[in-house]
Structure 1
Amino acid sequence: MRFVFAIAAFVAAAVLIGLGIAQRTVFLEPDTRSLDVTVDSAAADYVVIEPAALSAQPGKQALTIAGDGTVYLAYGRSSDVLAWIGEEPYISVGYDAEAEELTDEVIEPGAESDDGAAAGGSDGSDGTAATETPAPAEPAPTATPEATAEAGTEPATPAVSPSGSDLWLDEQTADGRLATTIDVPEGISVLVASGSEDPVPDRVAIAWPIENSTPWVGPLLTAGTLLFLVGVGLVISGIVNHRRSRGPRRNLPKGSRGKLPNAPKPGRRQAQLTSGRRSSGGRRAMVAGVALIPALALSACSADYWPSFEGMPGDATATPTPTPTPTPTATAGGVEAEEETTEVEPAVTVSQMERIMSRISTAAAKADAELNTAVAAERFAGPALQARQANYQIRTTLPDHAAPAAIPAAPLEITLPQQSKAGVWPRTVLEVVQNGEDPTVAPTALVLVQESPRENYKIFYVSSLVPDADPPEVAPASIGAPLVTPDSKLLLLPPSQVAPAFADILNIGAQSAYAAQFDLEGMELDDALSAAGRKAEIEGANPTVTATITAAATDDPVIALATNDAGALVSATVTRTEAVRPNDGGTTGFQDGSPAEALSGFTEQSAKGVQSTREVLLLFYVPPVGSSDPVRLLGWSESLVAASEVP
């Protein structure tokens, strides 16, 4: 009977082990799901893969883009992608959930659909962004294609390349075929273009990983192995019991026994062959069985071969998925109106800002080395650009004159992006960067502004932090901070009054009516900023002249970003004009070989005198109204920007 049970155990073991192996071979499901679509490359210059297409299946997205020429791929926020495209047509790649396939549709921004909404993708994504997103404020360097009177009569104008835009979270380029894997959340779109005169790539494929684990392989192989061992045990037990049952029988009744015929004796050679065959066969079976056990045990060690009980109902460790909360908007009466809430998001991410700063640092270094104002204008604007243009002009005449302070690329100490609404520009970011090559150099504070979707961020204000600046706590980059209006009454001083108040302090020092609101001791107003100190220095060096030092706020826009304590970081500009006139009836002029002489080109002596203007870029912390803390100067930089004869 034991042999019968052993046979049954062996059969069951074979079935279980066979099923386990079959699950990892013939029954194994594919590990990816792939969808593809072919678009008409002549219909538009850009292809936008919508969020619905990217999230058609869970998991990372393996993208394969192919075409007849250069392939360019970038991804960013959907609103930013549509804002960059502006009013140009594009091919929207969406997802049809019913047919479970990718779809393509040519979208003409501004074209109204039957229900009055702007045309959108077939994936159900918000198509109104195409009409609500403003077109670029300034034309791009290369014109976009325009329809001709007769198709094919004129060569197509190359499309504007999206390469190098600060809006993208990442971008890649390849020749003919581009394959990459990304892992993007909801609200992200992929922009595909040629980036050259080639037509837009026309083949798009997306693949997602599929869960193809076989959780019953481990139990099946383990159960089969155990049954096999049980069968082996039954066989051994049956053999031992059978041999015992054939032993000598004692206490049998006496009587005559019939003589049993003797079995024929085999020859010596035949006995040896038979004995050896049985012995070797038994050993081979035993070795095979013993080798099979660890092999099957090792094959079932993978976590994919066993059931997982994580995330089961009642699992206390399961983490719920957070739901984003819209930002409430205050009404005129100060009451939150939830039905009118508008979602805001930071203008940039930290990784995005790292790429931007790397590009800006490279462009600034090139412009400073080549004295190239055109290159500088690509990454500087407003007073920061004016300071560099003046420096280049001086260094053209005086090569040994100091270059502007370098713009470091990393590390980023503070990244404070503006909270912005989708499709709304300009956008602002405040950045504090430490000099990675020389930590002894004071950190650089930058205020960057992006005027429109197709323009990159440009440095508007640049200043060096003062010793022990101690900036206030600000929101993390993932949240950002709102802009504070110039006339806000919620601060100790409205942002628009900070520069005039500081200019008044520079002019008359502690006698200013604003002196009590500023931390004058922390500012260390030495001869570099104090009008009185500078006047004494000039007149002490040359008693035959009279110096007039005048500080004034400029018309440059004041930029203020909120801090965590309801205060603000305020950036503004003050100019300091030095007019030197002779007081003895003689003449005066610029010192030979001076930066002012090189900038003005005025090398003569004048009876009217000469004047120079220095631009001071300032960064303040302004506390909230009702605070006992004063306004603190966090950073400043000074540059000579103008010089001439006194009119």
Structure 2
Amino acid sequence: MAFVLAAGMIVLGIAQRTVFLEPASTSLSATIADEARYAVIESSALTAFDGSQTVTVTGADTVFLAYGRSSDVKAWLGDSPYADIRQARNAPRLSSKIVEAPAAEAADAASSETAAPVAETITNPAGSDMWLQEFTAKKTLTTTVHVPEGISLIVASDGTAPAPTTVTLSWPVDNSTPWAGPLIAGGGIVALLGLVMYLLALLHLRRSHGPRRNLPRGPRMPRLPRVPRPKAIKASEITGSRRSVTRSMVRVVPVVLVSGLLLSGCSADFWPSAPSAPKASVTATPGATDLPAAEDVPPPAVSVPQLERIVSDISRLSTDADAKLDAEAIATRFTGPALAERLANYKVRAVDPALKAVPALPAAPLTLKLPQQSSNWPRVVLTVIQDKAAPTVAPLALVLRQESPRADYLVEYAMQLEPAAKVPDVAPASIGAPIIAPDSKLLALPPGEVAAAYADILMQGEASPSFGLFEAEGDTFRTQVATLRADRIGKLSKTASLEFATAVGKGSTVALATNDSGSIVAVSLTETETAKILDGGATVQTEGASKALSGVEKTAKGIQSVYGDQLLFHVPAAGSKEKIVLLGIAQGLISSSEIP
């Protein structure tokens, strides 16, 4: 009976892991219409079941897949038609339909001041700065992500050819069998107990047929006729042969061995487990959960992994362009004052390679990450990078700007921090900071007036009305400018004159809020130096970058050189006793020409 019970338990335990075992995952599929260039897997489809999402996309020579915030994905698509894949209502399946931009929405978008322009000339979503992560493969692409609500996936080929035709989503299912292990183990134990009981019964039976003791003599009975004496019975004839015992053991031992072998390969899925304590947070794909908690706060322009990838891409491109003096390539990632400085430097070094290059743009680490809180465009991000290979070199502050959803982030400002600069505390990157309006009265000086005020200080020094607003201690730039101008005037001959002018540059004013109710403000200036001839027979000799950029070795008319300044300030809140502090600077010759 014990052996029957043991066999039943073991068979039932094995059946739970074989015949009765449920699938390890559940999946849903959808078909994309042939004419669609893009498809969007909505958040409702990705979160239809709990757990990580395994996405399989097939049906095109090139398969592209990326994920980002749902609002960013829709912004990138703009008015382009796409296949909308989402969970069907009240049904465990996916629905797919082509979505066109409604005429009413298109009209509203055109009239909205915050509407983001979409560059239709860019049709390939691969490499866009909008994505938190992207994947590319040939024919078939399978990847596993773990994204929460609010995240969508975009599927495409190259943006021109039709998108892949089949999308399959699958989620892991808990198919553990906690009673399989106990049943198999219990069956093995019962089999061992049955074997022990069987052996004890055999031993008892053998002993019960042994020789008997002589009984006390009673009255003598009449002698009976002698009968033939039977043969002695051997013990083996009573208990059976050893072979029969061995055969019984052979039947039982395999059952025990099989149970032991099965248990040796058991995993945690075979055994009951104590309920685990709820986790404080859900592990998700990097960057997928980097969103603000408050619903009324706009999300940060980028996540930290997204920003790290963007800066890494820019660093690789700028390193190559700086080495090759490739003006066309650098213009794809730089704009404004930062681009003007590099383009001028390329021209100078093309004429004289010995002249100094602009500071290289390192890739990591990012020691400060401050994205703008924004759901619209343009968007800006401030970051500070410390070069690992040169820890003694001043960190580089970058201001990145994205004009539209399909545009890349471009470096508008690239400035080295002052040696004594102390960047104020800012909000975490997962929250970001709001943009401060140029005319805001909540600061010690409106951001839009900072450049003009500092330009006046460079021209007039302590005589400037704005002198008391700015911290002079630690400001090496104004000292450097004053010293350089005095030196050049001292070397000037009586046959020439030198004039200086400082004005607000063409770069946009960028102001991001800080935790102290102040702001970090990036602005640009232009310094114009004009050397004129006073004596008709005299000439001006050019040298260095001015000579390389102007192409003039000496002139009897005069030379006008323009320097571009990129400046980063901390402007305190209105009413604060603190002064405006210069945090970072960059200066470079951007033009030089002969006076007409």
Query: Contact (CA 8 Å) 1:86, 1:134: kept in 2 or not?
Result: no
Q: Which moved more, 1:57-66 or 1:196-205?
A: 196-205
Report the equivalent of 1:33. 26
1:14 to 2:40 alignment: no
The SS at the match of 2:364 is coil
Partner amino acid, structure 2, of 1:431 = T
Report the equivalent of 2:149. 186
C-alpha deviation, 1:535, in angstroms = 2.6
Query: Contact (CA 8 Å) 1:82, 1:129: kept in 2 or not?
Result: no
Partner amino acid, structure 2, of 1:575 = T
1:76 to 2:68 alignment: yes
Change in CA separation of 1:321 and 1:33 when aligned onto 2, cut-off 3 Å: closer
Gaps of 5+ in 2: 284-288
- Within the candidate set 38, 52, 55, 1:60 is matched to 52
Query: Contact (CA 8 Å) 1:83, 1:135: kept in 2 or not?
Result: no
Change in CA separation of 1:130 and 1:495 when aligned onto 2, cut-off 3 Å: closer
Residue correspondence of structure 1 range 506-517 to structure 2 within 5 A: 506-517=458-469
Report the equivalent of 2:358. 404
The SS at the match of 1:437 is coil
Query: Contact (CA 8 Å) 1:606, 1:645: kept in 2 or not?
Result: no
Change in CA separation of 1:628 and 1:237 when aligned onto 2, cut-off 3 Å: farther
> TM-score, normalising length from structure 1?
0.82
C-alpha deviation, 1:292, in angstroms = 4.5
Q: In structure 2, how many angstroms separate the alpha carbons of the residues matched to 1:260 and 1:461?
A: 125
- Within the candidate set 550, 562, 567, 1:618 is matched to 567
Report the equivalent of 1:139. 119
Q: In structure 2, how many angstroms separate the alpha carbons of the residues matched to 1:479 and 1:138?
A: 26
Report the equivalent of 2:412. 460
C-alpha deviation, 1:440, in angstroms = 2.6
Report the equivalent of 1:99. 91
C-alpha deviation, 1:129, in angstroms = 10
Q: In structure 2, how many angstroms separate the alpha carbons of the residues matched to 1:204 and 1:130?
A: 33
Change in CA separation of 1:321 and 1:431 when aligned onto 2, cut-off 3 Å: closer
Change in CA separation of 1:163 and 1:297 when aligned onto 2, cut-off 3 Å: closer
Query: Contact (CA 8 Å) 1:31, 1:212: kept in 2 or not?
Result: yes
Report the equivalent of 1:349. 303
Report the equivalent of 1:426. 378
1:85 to 2:77 alignment: yes
The SS at the match of 1:307 is coil
C-alpha deviation, 1:402, in angstroms = 2.4
Partner amino acid, structure 2, of 1:163 = A
- Within the candidate set 407, 412, 415, 2:369 is matched to 415
Q: In structure 2, how many angstroms separate the alpha carbons of the residues matched to 1:631 and 1:196?
A: 48
Report the equivalent of 1:308. 273
1:385-440 alpha-carbon deviations (Å, 9 max, x no partner): 1112222232333333323222111222111111112xx11111111112233323
Report the equivalent of 2:398. 446
The SS at the match of 2:555 is coil
C-alpha deviation, 1:342, in angstroms = 3.3
Report the equivalent of 1:535. 485
Report the equivalent of 1:637. 586
Report the equivalent of 2:508. 557
1:194-213 alpha-carbon deviations (Å, 9 max, x no partner): 11653221111111111111
Residue correspondence of structure 1 range 464-483 to structure 2 within 5 A: 464-483=416-435
Q: In structure 1, how many angstroms separate the alpha carbons of the residues matched to 2:23 and 2:534?
A: 93
The SS at the match of 1:345 is coil
Partner amino acid, structure 1, of 2:27 = S
- Within the candidate set 500, 512, 524, 1:573 is matched to 524
Query: Contact (CA 8 Å) 1:410, 1:433: kept in 2 or not?
Result: yes
Q: In structure 2, how many angstroms separate the alpha carbons of the residues matched to 1:130 and 1:376?
A: 32
Change in CA separation of 1:535 and 1:294 when aligned onto 2, cut-off 3 Å: same
C-alpha deviation, 1:618, in angstroms = 0.7
Partner amino acid, structure 2, of 1:374 = E
Query: Contact (CA 8 Å) 2:292, 2:300: kept in 1 or not?
Result: no
Query: Contact (CA 8 Å) 1:53, 1:93: kept in 2 or not?
Result: yes
C-alpha deviation, 1:13, in angstroms = 2.0
1:432-479 alpha-carbon deviations (Å, 9 max, x no partner): 112233323221110000000010000001101121322122222111
- Within the candidate set 239, 245, 262, 2:230 is matched to 262
Query: Contact (CA 8 Å) 2:192, 2:256: kept in 1 or not?
Result: no
C-alpha deviation, 1:630, in angstroms = 2.4
Partner amino acid, structure 2, of 1:304 = D
Query: Contact (CA 8 Å) 2:546, 2:561: kept in 1 or not?
Result: yes
Q: In structure 2, how many angstroms separate the alpha carbons of the residues matched to 1:38 and 1:211?
A: 27
The SS at the match of 1:539 is helix
Q: Which moved more, 1:445-454 or 1:92-101?
A: 92-101
Partner amino acid, structure 2, of 1:492 = A
Q: Which moved more, 1:220-229 or 1:210-219?
A: 220-229
Partner amino acid, structure 2, of 1:262 = P
Partner amino acid, structure 2, of 1:596 = S
Q: In structure 1, how many angstroms separate the alpha carbons of the residues matched to 2:438 and 2:94?
A: 49
Partner amino acid, structure 2, of 1:30 = P
Report the equivalent of 1:208. 171
Q: In structure 2, how many angstroms separate the alpha carbons of the residues matched to 1:344 and 1:435?
A: 31
1:584-609 alpha-carbon deviations (Å, 9 max, x no partner): 56534241x432233234444235x3
Partner amino acid, structure 1, of 2:336 = G
Q: In structure 2, how many angstroms separate the alpha carbons of the residues matched to 1:194 and 1:263?
A: 97
Gaps of 5+ in 1: 1-6, 119-127, 143-159, 328-340
- Within the candidate set 546, 559, 573, 1:596 is matched to 546
Query: Contact (CA 8 Å) 1:381, 1:459: kept in 2 or not?
Result: yes
Q: In structure 2, how many angstroms separate the alpha carbons of the residues matched to 1:253 and 1:34?
A: 87
Partner amino acid, structure 1, of 2:81 = P
Report the equivalent of 1:109. 101
Q: In structure 1, how many angstroms separate the alpha carbons of the residues matched to 2:76 and 2:113?
A: 9
Count of residue pairs the alignment pairs up: 581
Query: Contact (CA 8 Å) 1:192, 1:200: kept in 2 or not?
Result: yes
Report the equivalent of 2:286. none
Report the equivalent of 1:152. none
Q: In structure 1, how many angstroms separate the alpha carbons of the residues matched to 2:159 and 2:583?
A: 45
Query: Contact (CA 8 Å) 1:110, 1:131: kept in 2 or not?
Result: no
Query: Contact (CA 8 Å) 1:590, 1:610: kept in 2 or not?
Result: no
Report the equivalent of 1:437. 389
Q: In structure 2, how many angstroms separate the alpha carbons of the residues matched to 1:68 and 1:360?
A: 30
Report the equivalent of 1:165. 128
Query: Contact (CA 8 Å) 1:69, 1:198: kept in 2 or not?
Result: no
Q: In structure 2, how many angstroms separate the alpha carbons of the residues matched to 1:542 and 1:133?
A: 53
Report the equivalent of 1:338. none
1:343-366 alpha-carbon deviations (Å, 9 max, x no partner): 411111111112211221122223
C-alpha deviation, 1:253, in angstroms = 5.5
1:195 to 2:177 alignment: no
Change in CA separation of 1:468 and 1:241 when aligned onto 2, cut-off 3 Å: farther
Query: Contact (CA 8 Å) 2:10, 2:259: kept in 1 or not?
Result: no
Change in CA separation of 1:35 and 1:572 when aligned onto 2, cut-off 3 Å: same
> TM-score, normalising length from structure 2?
0.88
Query: Contact (CA 8 Å) 1:445, 1:635: kept in 2 or not?
Result: yes
The SS at the match of 1:219 is helix
Q: Which moved more, 1:279-288 or 1:611-620?
A: 279-288
Change in CA separation of 1:225 and 1:276 when aligned onto 2, cut-off 3 Å: closer
The SS at the match of 2:191 is helix
- Within the candidate set 306, 319, 326, 1:372 is matched to 326
Q: In structure 2, how many angstroms separate the alpha carbons of the residues matched to 1:97 and 1:473?
A: 47
Query: Contact (CA 8 Å) 2:539, 2:555: kept in 1 or not?
Result: yes
Q: In structure 2, how many angstroms separate the alpha carbons of the residues matched to 1:507 and 1:310?
A: 72
Report the equivalent of 1:520. 472
Q: In structure 1, how many angstroms separate the alpha carbons of the residues matched to 2:228 and 2:134?
A: 96
Query: Contact (CA 8 Å) 1:70, 1:198: kept in 2 or not?
Result: no
